[in-house]
């Protein structure tokens, strides 16, 4: 499988943690690069890895080809889901995790992050991966393949801090779908810090501030 192209930003020498951050549908790895200065203050040196998703046709957008981690038929629990696309992307992101291992960053010093479809991939990996991660950031997203959770869940990240945030006015990924995902994850034993904001399908300043505070607590606790 072809390795994902990435944008890499390091906030200092000898990074202590790596954050692998997946973008949303139709965006690319540069999308969240501007957030790095806002998130790094007071934190140890970090490596941000922003991968570019492959280009593929997306059914919900009339088959138009765009960067996407998997095909989307519909944003609801009744729609069929792209098992193969999700699995292929999970394998590709796994390749980035192994690349960090080769750089001397163990899994318990890696955070998985993402917005929208990228956040869905972060949750998918965190619930199934055999290694414990330092943390998970899942913004304006949902848990894909939720029906499979009970039989595919791995226990490694049951105690891993998970930051989930969602806009109450989101017209793209409904707030109810994000909240339902939170409830499913909590019922399965995962540890969720949930935040809701009066915004649409976006990121807001209070959210970035709350995420920064969460990251500081995580680093100060010596995760990993």
The catalytic residue positions are 116, 170, 201
Rounded Cα distance between 16 and 216, Å, is 13
HSE value, Cβ hemisphere, 13 Å, CA-based, for 14: 0
Nearest to 173 by CA among 67, 39, 60, 97: 60
Is there a contact between 109 and 134 (Cβ–Cβ < 8 Å)?
Answer: yes
Is there a contact between 23 and 67 (Cβ–Cβ < 8 Å)?
Answer: yes
Residue 104, both tokens: 């001397």
Rounded Cα distance between 192 and 163, Å, is 6
Residue 218, both tokens: 């995580």
Rounded Cα distance between 176 and 178, Å, is 5
Q: How does DSSP classify residue 173?
A: S
Residue 110, both tokens: 């890696």
Nearest to 29 by CA among 11, 6, 47: 6
């Amino acid at each position: 499988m072809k390795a994902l192209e990435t944008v890499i930003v390091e906030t200092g020498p000898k990074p202590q943690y790596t954050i692998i951050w997946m973008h949303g549908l139709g965006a690319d790895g540069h999308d969240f690069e501007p957030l790095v200065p806002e998130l790094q203050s007071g934190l140890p040196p970090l490596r941000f890895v922003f991968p570019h998703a492959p280009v593929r046709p997306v059914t919900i957008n009339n088959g138009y080809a765009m960067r996407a981690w998997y095909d989307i038929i519909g944003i609801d629990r009744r729609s069929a889901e792209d098992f193969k696309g999700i699995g292929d992307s999970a394998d590709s992101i796994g390749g980035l995790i192994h690349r960090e291992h080769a750089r001397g960053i163990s899994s318990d010093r890696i955070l998985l992050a993402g917005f929208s479809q990228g956040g869905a991939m972060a949750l998918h990996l965190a619930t199934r991966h055999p290694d414990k991660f330092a943390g998970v950031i899942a913004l304006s997203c949902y848990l894909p393949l939720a029906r499979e959770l009970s039989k595919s869940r791995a226990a490694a990240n049951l105690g891993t801090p998970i930051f989930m945030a969602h806009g109450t006015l989101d017209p793209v990924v409904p707030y109810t779908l994000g909240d339902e995902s939170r409830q499913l994850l909590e019922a399965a034993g995962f540890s969720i810090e949930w935040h809701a904001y009066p915004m649409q399908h976006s990121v807001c300043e209070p959210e970035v501030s709350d995420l920064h505070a969460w990251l500081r607590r995580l680093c100060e606790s010596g995760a990993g």
